[in-house]
Amino acid sequence: MKKILFITSQYRATDILVQRTMDMAKKEGIELKFEVKGETEAFALLAQEDFDLILLNPMLRFLVNNTGENALPKGIRVETIGSKTYGSLDAASLLQLIMKNE
């Protein structure tokens, strides 16, 4: 199972994208667990739990360096979702990003 921390500022769109991605992953036999949090909650959670991947929505790409400082020492990959993937709620593209380097 891949444990993913999704840092967002747009909960409604993110929830839809996460659900679509989980549905697609389930059909492909891939087990995912998402934690969807805002910036402050995410950094607090990151200090307490381990994740396989951190995803940033496109509007929060400015957090990539700060997030990396907290995640990279733990071996956690950090990715920013592309605007096209996020804006079109493209579950296939997001699943491909999640599974990158697997």
User: Residues 2-59: pLDDT tens digits?
Assistant: 999 999 988 899 999 999 999 999 999 999 999 999 988 998 998 899 999 999 999 9
pTM: 0.90
Domains and CATH numbers, the chain: 2-99 (3.40.50.2300)
pLDDT at position 73 is 81
What is the DSSP code (8-state) at residue 58?
G
pLDDT at position 65 is 78
Helix, strand, coil shares, percent, the chain, to 5: 55, 20, 25
Residue 40 burial (C-beta neighbours within 10 Å; 0-12, 13-18, 19+): exposed
The Cα-based distances of 12 to 15, 29, 74 in angstroms read 5, 26, 29
**What whole-number distance in Å separates Cα of residue 77 and Cα of residue 65?**
12
pLDDT at position 7 is 94
Choice between 102 and 47, residue whose per-residue pLDDT is larger: 47
Q: What is the pLDDT of residues 60-101, one digit of tens each?
A: 888 887 787 778 888 899 999 999 999 999 999 999 999 986
